[in-house]
Amino acid sequence: MTDTTARIPKLTRKGQATRDRILQAAVELIAERGVVGTSTEDVRKAARVSGSQIYHYFDSKQALIRAVITRQADAEPVPGRPMMGALDCFDALRAWADAAIQRQEENGCRGECSLGSLAGELGAADEDSRQDLSNGFLRWQGLLEQSLRAMRDRGDLRPDADLGELSLALLTALQGGTLLTQTMRDIRPLRAALNAALSYIHSFAADQR
Amino acid sequence: MTDTTARIPKLTRKGQATRDRILQAAVELIAERGVVGTSTEDVRKAARVSGSQIYHYFDSKQALIRAVITRQADAEPVPGRPMMGALDCFDALRAWADAAIQRQEENGCRGECSLGSLAGELGAADEDSRQDLSNGFLRWQGLLEQSLRAMRDRGDLRPDADLGELSLALLTALQGGTLLTQTMRDIRPLRAALNAALSYIHSFAADQR
């Protein structure tokens, strides 16, 4: 998935900064209130821009939401290090999972404006959003698969490990664990989901001790 | 979680049938359009009841949605057999997972009015709904844990198997797999998620052959 800004020619540095500020305001409001609870007017006020400014960058709420989806898909689901495409050993996978768990714990197991939350809220209603979200998940799966390929290439995983299935198992664990953890305000679902996925990946370790 | 009907005294058989028809119409519309895209007026028309009738049973959209959540939480996430609380051997677990996969395939990997979809759409916005959804997930986890306990009691699972963690791993796999399968319109995420969870549970088999 490419950043939507690539499709907008001739954006000045100041214009880019304004657009970023609008998107950031949208992300923060959606984390708190969901997509439905967030109006374009709320975003305009929070970003401190005029009506003509926000309309210049996003001519509808749908355009704004699609840009939010693209922005979140281009980001890391677990911000910071290690990054999703560079988890090239079991320790790095574990560190990534621990970072996801720690982030949710620090956040009080509350909802965020994540790709998973957006998929839950928008999936059924809007076909354009569904495709954007699908592309985002595909991008994330591709990065995890790239990590697992590096592990296979260096001999950590068996040659017959199905990297597509393993990367999907890890991504669905993150998403399902996060959904239940945020709904139940309890870290255990996310921890159990990621433990299970990592253990499954480990069952394909070349060196089974 | 108890059926909300238990809290409504003196509902005649005809009254119960009308209430059920309203709820069924709500479930079908939400599956198609999401909660946000479904108005009380849409439900009233689809259920062929009068405004005063629907208001008699549900005095607000929120009351209707909460009753939908309770209804779905009291149902099986994978309708039919085997049932979630009676998966007392590895074959039954596998049959249950296969039924979930088959159901999504037959449904074209489309969204439903499931607890997971409702959690995705409502979780961030409304505290009452979040608690209802949380109770629903707890109920399902309890049923899965009951199944795994039967497996441990008959000696299929090791005595040290953490049944709380295993049941959460299975439930999060179902939810995360379903979320990605419906967003990507592709059965592979659900299949990978359930395979991984079952394999993880199997790694606690007492008889490791």
Task: Report DSSP letters for chain B, one per residue.
Answer: ---GGGGSTT--HHHHHHHHHHHHHHHHHHHHHTTTT--HHHHHHHHT--HHHHHHH-SSHHHHHHHHHHHHHHS-SS-SSS-GGG--SHHHHHHHHHHHHHHHHHTTT---S-HHHHHHHHTTT-HHHHHHHHHHHHHHHHHHHHHHHHHHHTTSB-TT--HHHHHHHHHHHHHHHHHHHHHHT-SHHHHHHHHHHHHHHHTTBSS--
Q: What angle do CA A61, A62, A65 make, to 5 degrees?
A: 85
Residue B207 lies in a domain: no
pLDDT of residue B114: 84
**The complex's ipTM?**
0.91
pLDDT of residue B124: 61
What sign has the CA pseudo-torsion A135, A140, A145, A146? positive
Q: Are residues B70 and B167 in the same domain?
A: no
* B61 reaches A (C-beta below 8 A): no
Residue A79 lies in a domain: no
Residue B111 lies in a domain: yes
Copy the structure tokens of residue A117.
């939350």
Q: One-letter amino acid identity for B79?
A: P
Least Cα separation, residue A53 to chain B (angstroms):
28
- Choose, out of A183, A187, A199, the residue to mutate when testing the contact with B (most B CBs < 10 Å): A183
pLDDT of residue A126: 80
Q: Are residues A97 and A157 in the same domain?
A: yes
Contacts across the A-B interface (CB distance below 8 Å): 187
pLDDT of residue A124: 61
Q: Are residues A116 and A190 in the same domain?
A: yes
pLDDT tens per residue across span A123-141? 766 888 999 999 999 999 9
Q: How many domains does chain A have?
A: 2
Q: Are residues B89 and B70 in the same domain?
A: no
A2: pLDDT strictly greater than 50: no
Using an 8 Å Cβ cutoff, are B65 and B40 in contact?
no
Give the H or E element holding residue A22: helix A13-33
A37: pLDDT strictly greater than 90: no
Q: Are residues A191 and A118 in the same domain?
A: yes
Sorting pLDDT into bands at 50, 70 and 90, what band is A8? low
Burial grade of A37 (CB within 10 A; 0-12, 13-18, 19 or more): middle
* B114 reaches A (C-beta below 8 A): no
* B194 reaches A (C-beta below 8 A): no
Q: Which residue has the higher pLDDT, A2 or A68?
A: A68
pLDDT of residue A82: 83
Burial grade of A119 (CB within 10 A; 0-12, 13-18, 19 or more): buried
Beta bridge partners of A157: A205
Among chain B residues, the shortest Cα distance to A121 is held by: B121
Copy the structure tokens of residue A201.
């990946």
Chain centroid to CA B124: how far?
19
Residue B143 lies in a domain: yes
Residue B189 lies in a domain: yes
Q: State mean pLDDT over A5-28.
A: 84
pLDDT of residue A24: 95
Sorting pLDDT into bands at 50, 70 and 90, what band is A208? low
Domain final residue pick, A34, A55, A74? A74
- Choose, out of B183, B191, B199, B201, the residue to mutate when testing the contact with A (most A CBs < 10 Å): B183
Q: Are residues A179 and A114 in the same domain?
A: yes
Provide φ and ψ at B125, rounded to 5°.
-90, -35
* A195 reaches B (C-beta below 8 A): yes
pLDDT of residue B79: 82
Beta bridge partners of A205: A157
Which residues 2-41 of chain B have a CB within 8 Å of chain A? 30-34, 36-37
Q: Are residues A91 and A188 in the same domain?
A: yes
* B107 reaches A (C-beta below 8 A): no
Q: Which residues of chain B have pLDDT under 70?
A: 1-9, 124-125, 208-209
Residue A207 lies in a domain: no
We report the CATH number of the domain holding residue B68 as: 1.10.10.60
pLDDT of residue A185: 94
* B91 reaches A (C-beta below 8 A): no
Q: Are residues B64 and B95 in the same domain?
A: no
Domain final residue pick, B24, B53, B74? B74
Q: Are residues A56 and A100 in the same domain?
A: no
Say how many C-beta atoms besides its own lie within 10 A of residue A90's C-beta. 15
pLDDT of residue A78: 85
Q: Are residues B16 and B51 in the same domain?
A: yes
pLDDT of residue B100: 95
We report the CATH number of the domain holding residue B147 as: 1.10.357.10
pLDDT tens per residue across span A148-197? 999 999 999 999 999 999 999 999 999 999 999 999 999 999 999 999 99
Q: Are residues B91 and B183 in the same domain?
A: yes
pLDDT of residue B208: 62
Residue B209 lies in a domain: no
A1: pLDDT strictly greater than 50: no
Quote the DSSP letter at residue A123. T
Residue B208 lies in a domain: no
pLDDT of residue B7: 53
Q: Cβ contacts (< 8 Å) between A200 and chain B: which residues?
A: 196-197, 199-200
Residues in chain B, how many? 209
Quote the DSSP letter at residue A6. G
Which residues have C-beta within 8 Å of that of residue B21, sequence separation ≥ 6?
Answer: B47, B48, B49
Domain limits at B63?
Answer: 4-74
A112: pLDDT strictly greater than 70: yes
Domain final residue pick, B24, B56, B74? B74
Q: Are residues B122 and B28 in the same domain?
A: no
